[in-house]
Amino acid sequence: MTIANSIKFFFIKFLSKKEMRNKFLFEHHFFTNRYYLNPAANEINMSFILNMTVSELNQTVLNHYEQDFKALCDMYRFKHFWEEFTNPLNAGLSVQSIISSCGFSSTKDFNSLITDHKEASRDILMRNFS
């Protein structure tokens, strides 16, 4: 462990408030470890991993990201999908395989996300293809 990481660990564990510790812990598992790519990602599993209650998890997500846990997962799954879909290395892959690699449990879930967020999907397409 580097000195910088040791200092950060000490600060988080002993000097920061519980809400800040929850935020750092959440960010590590959600963003660094890309928890959102897990098809079984949900509030209950994440709260178990983070050793906090579901309400603490929801409050942390709402306070720092201004949306609920499911919406945050969906947003990052779609961002990951778009990065992989537009990556030339994946040109030979089927859309289904890219969808599966992005944490969607089925094509139906992916389609529901696109349908429920038509305006945001349209904006992404307009930015990238116009």
Q: How is the chain split into domains, by residue range? A: 3-67, 72-129
**What pTM, to 2 d.p., does this model score?**
0.80
pLDDT at site 20:
84
Dihedral of CA atoms 59, 64, 70, 75 in degrees, nearest 10, equals 180
Cβ(78)–Cβ(11) below 8 Å: no
Segment 62-85 shows an average pLDDT of: 94
What is the C-alpha separation between 65 and 62, in angstroms, rounded? 5
Check pLDDT > 60 for residue 71: yes
Cβ-based neighbours of 52, under 8 Å, separated by 6 or more: 22, 60
- The whole-angstrom separation of Cα 25 and Cα 27 is 6
- Residue 12 scores a pLDDT above 60: no
* pLDDT tens, residue by residue, 21-41: 899 899 999 999 999 999 999
Structure tokens at 39: 């098809």
Which of 126, 129, 82 is closest to 104 using CA atoms?
82
Between the two ends of the chain, the Cα-to-Cα distance in Å is 47
